């Protein structure tokens, strides 16, 4: 970790205190539970598209930060705690240092030892900057707060027997995802390892699986479809949650999460609470802003 990001972590902690005061604290925070406390093997929460904004004349940064802070408060209210929390990218609006300080400072308040932060197109400048510069910035903050040994923007970890695999586009893009041969080869190796252990597999990506570009065919779904016991989570589209948010693509079970800090008809703060049991995975959509599960939005997969 460089001296710059060491200092950035200290500044982020101070900013968090100031922002908590400016936004009058967080939110609901009422304790909630998993479906079956006696048989739960792992539980984690997944959120997407926080879009924490920087300074502007409308002080919108306080608005997005206050929503995110309230969401985190509810994530932390899970009885027994989360084994992990995953952010699917577009954590910031423009990849600015101030936005990263605000986002990572807020995420550092999560009551879990495992935080997975993916990069989205907005974290990589949304098609307008130098990829290597923004990649280094994202990885610098991620190392400083959560992943000290990170060597690539794509990585994985095993949490209570579950493989959580994080993909990353490798170019400055907006609606395309560029995955190198090296990343796809790495993905196959990790998937083979998980499959050999009969482990539940969760592939996390900012973009939907069919947004792959620059390759022949949809190579990503072709790879994923070779493995059982796999769920693919993504964001990017900002689609309001509805029955079409959970779907099958080329045989791959996919879940597309909305922008969690946007207020819309289907609710603010919607993400997924993922509960892993011995022979199944239950995905329950939760409105983390208002502290309630989304009615009729529970999905069971024969995984594990």
For residue 234, give the nearest of 215, 213, 252 by alpha carbon: 252
In the chain, where do the E strands start and end? 42-47, 84-87, 115-117, 155-159, 162-166, 201-204, 230-234, 246-249, 252-256, 270-276, 281-287, 292-301
How many domains, in total, are found in the chain?
A: 1
With pLDDT > 70 as the criterion, what percentage of the chain qualifies?
90
The encoded tokens of residue 203 equal 């592939």
Q: How confident is the model at residue 17 (pLDDT cuts 50, 70, 90)?
A: confident
**pLDDT tens, residue by residue, 106-159:** 999 999 999 999 999 999 999 888 999 999 999 999 999 999 999 999 999 999
Q: What's the whole-number mean pLDDT along residues 202-229?
A: 89
Three-class DSSP category at 265: coil
Pairing outcome for strands 162-166 and 201-204 = parallel
**pLDDT tens, residue by residue, 183-204:** 999 999 999 999 999 999 999 9
With pLDDT > 90 as the criterion, what percentage of the chain qualifies?
75
For residue 69, give the nearest of 12, 20, 6, 130 by alpha carbon: 20
Residue 55 scores a pLDDT above 70: no
**pLDDT tens, residue by residue, 282-298:** 999 999 999 999 999 99
Residue linked to tokens 């790879």? 223
Question: For the chain, what is the mean pLDDT?
Answer: 90
Give residue 8's pLDDT.
Answer: 84
**pLDDT tens, residue by residue, 19-54:** 765 565 556 667 899 999 999 999 999 999 999 987
Q: What's the whole-number mean pLDDT along residues 226-241?
A: 94
CA dist 5 → 61, 88, 128, 137, 153 (Å) = 21, 22, 24, 9, 17
Torsion 80-81-83-88 (CA) sign: positive
Residue 62, phi then psi, degrees to nearest 5? -70, -30
Number of other CB atoms surrounding residue 28 within 10 Å: 17
Q: Which domain holds residue 74?
A: 3-301
Residue 278, phi then psi, degrees to nearest 5? -60, -45
Give residue 28's pLDDT.
Answer: 65
Tell whether pTM > 0.75.
yes
Residue 266 scores a pLDDT above 70: no
Give residue 27's pLDDT.
Answer: 61
Give residue 23's pLDDT.
Answer: 60
Give residue 9's pLDDT.
Answer: 84
Residue linked to tokens 């990589």? 124
Q: How confident is the model at residue 206 (pLDDT cuts 50, 70, 90)?
A: very high
Q: What's the whole-number mean pLDDT along residues 164-181?
A: 93
Give residue 6's pLDDT.
Answer: 82
Residue 167 scores a pLDDT above 90: yes
CB 86 within 8 A of CB 45: yes
> For position 203, which CATH number holds?
3.60.21.10
């Amino acid at each position: 970790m460089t001296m710059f990001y060491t200092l950035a972590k200290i500044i982020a902690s101070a900013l968090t205190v100031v922002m908590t005061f400016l936004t009058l604290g967080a939110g609901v925070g009422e304790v909630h539970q998993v479906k079956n406390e006696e048989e739960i093997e792992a539980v984690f929460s997944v959120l997407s598209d926080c879009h924490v904004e920087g300074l502007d004349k409308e002080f919108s940064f306080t608005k997005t930060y206050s929503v995110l802070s309230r969401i985190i408060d509810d994530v932390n209210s899970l009885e027994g705690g989360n084994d992990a929390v995953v952010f699917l990218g577009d954590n910031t609006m423009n990849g600015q240092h101030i936005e990263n300080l605000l986002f990572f400072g807020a995420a550092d308040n999560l009551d879990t030892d495992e935080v997975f932060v993916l990069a989205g197109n907005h974290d990589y400048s949304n098609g307008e900057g130098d990829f290597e510069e923004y990649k280094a910035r994202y990885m610098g903050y991620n190392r400083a707060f959560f992943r000290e040994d990170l060597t690539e923007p794509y990585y994985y970890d095993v949490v209570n027997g579950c493989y959580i695999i994080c993909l990353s586009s490798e170019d400055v893009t907006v609606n395309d995802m560029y995955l190198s041969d090296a990343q796809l080869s790495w993905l196959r190796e990790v998937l083979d390892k998980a499959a050999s252990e009969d482990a539940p597999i969760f592939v996390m990506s900012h973009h939907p699986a069919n947004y792959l570009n620059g390759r022949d065919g949809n190579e990503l779904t072709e790879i994923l479809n070779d493995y059982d016991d796999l769920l693919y989570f993504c964001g990017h589209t900002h689609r309001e949650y509805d029955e079409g948010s959970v779907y099958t693509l080329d045989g791959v079970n996919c879940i597309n999460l909305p922008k969690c800090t946007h207020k819309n008809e289907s609710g603010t703060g919607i993400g997924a609470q993922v509960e892993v049991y011995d022979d199944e995975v239950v995905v329950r959509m939760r409105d983390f802003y208002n502290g309630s599960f989304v009615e009729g939005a529970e999905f069971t997969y024969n995984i594990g």
